[in-house]
Amino acid sequence: MSLQSTQPQPLGHRAAAPVSAWDQDRPRLGFGAYLTCFNGIVWREVLRYLHQRERFLSALVRPLVWLFIFAAGFRQTLGVSIIPPYETYVLYEVFITPGLIGMIQLFNAMQSSLSMVYDRETGAMRTLLVSPFPRSFLLTSKLVGGVAVSLLQVYAFLLVAYFWEIEPPLFGYLTVLPALILSGLMLGSMALFMSSIIRQLENFAGVMNFVIFPMFFASSALYPLWRIRESSVLLYYVCLYNPFTHAVELIRFALYGDVNWISLAVVIGCTLLFLGGAVYAYNPSKGLIARRGGPGAGA
């Protein structure tokens, strides 16, 4: 043993912590690395969707059934009076179009949640979560990929609706884009948080029915809020505090170049709340994934 190793250290001297080989060789993640990771995750979601033709058809058939069959039957019974943002009486098909757009985004968000549960069961999510990128960035990239897919579905639906003589102003196809992105982010964040709660793929269908149908029917997607209030005050307040209602109203106003500021604030607030909950839930030391012993718990 050398004399130097036996000499006492000066008072207040603190030994340096050993540096592991991982810390020495760990690359610094620059903007290019984040951009490459972001593009990879988003394109994975888009390509997965493009290779699933059944998913594309199911996303269109569901709202088109409401548009072509139910709306035609309810047209005489559920006439819509002049309410913002409409400046004249509108047909029932025109009124429910924003609600059907919201339906497309809602079901697409649940499909993204299903893919997260599937990736967790197959172990693909473990590879994603142990990467050197922050989990918040990975989850946000996954969320953006789901929103990109929902935009493709929505504009395909609007193209079919155009030939059904449901024609918002031409500028509405452009002004609705920010509303679609915000509503897609909110619904996708909610589904992302739900994916942390669902432990097994078999439980997904029950949770979907428990969440999707109450959110859709207890909203302004199919009926004006003033008509709901005439029939049930309690149901009116349930619809009023339903985040999906504000997503639909944000889309409805944006189709006509207008902004519903209350709905905008609610959608942004719910997006931050759900996304923060999802990031916390996927935290390996604090979240629900760690408590359930899921992937990433030991990462």
| Residue owning tokens 């029932």 | 92
Cβ-Cβ contacts under 8 Å for 95 (sequence gap 6 or more):
80, 86, 224
pLDDT in tens, 181-210: 999 999 999 988 887 777 666 666 677 778
Contact partners, residue 235, CB within 8 Å, separation at least 6: 218, 228
- Looking at residue 114, its pLDDT comes to 77
pLDDT band at residue 22 under the 50/70/90 scheme: very low
Q: Does the pLDDT of residue 139 top 80, yes or no?
A: yes
pLDDT of residue 286: 57
pLDDT at 62: 85
Distances (CA, A) of 209 to 107, 182, 213, 215, 241: 11, 24, 6, 10, 20
Mean pLDDT score, 255-283: 91
Please answer whether residues 129 and 25 qualify as being in contact, where contact means their C-beta atoms are separated by less than 8 angstroms.
no
Whose tokens are 């810390």? That residue is 23
Does residue 242 or residue 4 have the better pLDDT? 242
Confidence at residue 235, expressed as pLDDT on a 0 to 100 scale = 93
CA 243/CA 254 separation, integer angstroms: 17
For the full predicted model, state whether its pTM sits above 0.85. Answer: no
Contact 248, 254 (CB under 8 A): no
Q: Which range is least confidently modeled, 125-129, 164-168, 246-250?
A: 125-129
Model confidence at 282: pLDDT above 90? no
Average pLDDT over residues 275-297: 64
pLDDT in tens, 109-131: 888 877 777 776 666 666 666 77
Q: Mean pLDDT, the chain, as a whole number?
A: 79
Give the number of other Cβ atoms within 10 Å of residue 246's Cβ. Answer: 26
For 31-51, write each residue's pLDDT tens digit.
788 888 888 888 888 888 777
